[in-house]
Amino acid sequence: MALDGIGRGGAPVAPIRSVEVDARAATKTFQVPREGGAVGPTAGVAGPLPTPPSALERLRAGDIDRDGYLDLKVHEATAHLEGLRPEDLDAVRAVLRGQLESEPALMHLVSQAMGKD
């Protein structure tokens, strides 16, 4: 009994040709050259990339002021809206910025983040 054409005595299958392999090439391991041309297991590994400082870290370090911090946070909060028309996105950012500046609880949190409270 044959399944899916197996064992039906169809056309003969071509024999597999043997391939000669250089024994030295077969045992050679893959290595990546280092910057100076040397080869080794840690070649090209410089360690983890530094992450840029967050808005809060920049605020605490004095790199930005309160207004700069609020601008960065508004931009961060609206980054997913980049598909909007520029004037619509600006309007959303202006409303959000106005709410941040007028909400006492939010301003208290910003003051705490700045270390002024």
- Note the pLDDT tens digit of each residue in 2-32: 555 566 666 666 776 766 666 666 566 666 6
Residue range 89-117: average pLDDT? 85
Burial of 82 (0-12, 13-18, 19+ CB in 10 A): exposed
Residue range 97-114: average pLDDT? 84
Instruction: Please report the pLDDT score of residue 37 as a whole number.
Output: 56
Q: What span, in angstroms and rounded, lies between the C-alpha atoms of 10 and 91? A: 74
Angle, helices 104-114 vs 86-102, to 10°: value is: 80
Token pair recorded at residue 25: 């090439």
53-101 tens-digit pLDDT: 888 888 888 888 888 888 999 999 999 998 899 999 999 999 999 998 8
Instruction: Please report the pLDDT score of residue 60 as a whole number.
Output: 84
Residue range 37-51: average pLDDT? 65
CB 69 within 8 A of CB 116: no
Judge if pTM exceeds 0.85: no
Whole-angstrom Cα Rg for the chain: 32
Query: What region does 44 belong to: left with phi over 0, alpha with psi -120 to 50, or beta?
Result: left
Q: What span, in angstroms and rounded, lies between the C-alpha atoms of 32 and 44? A: 8
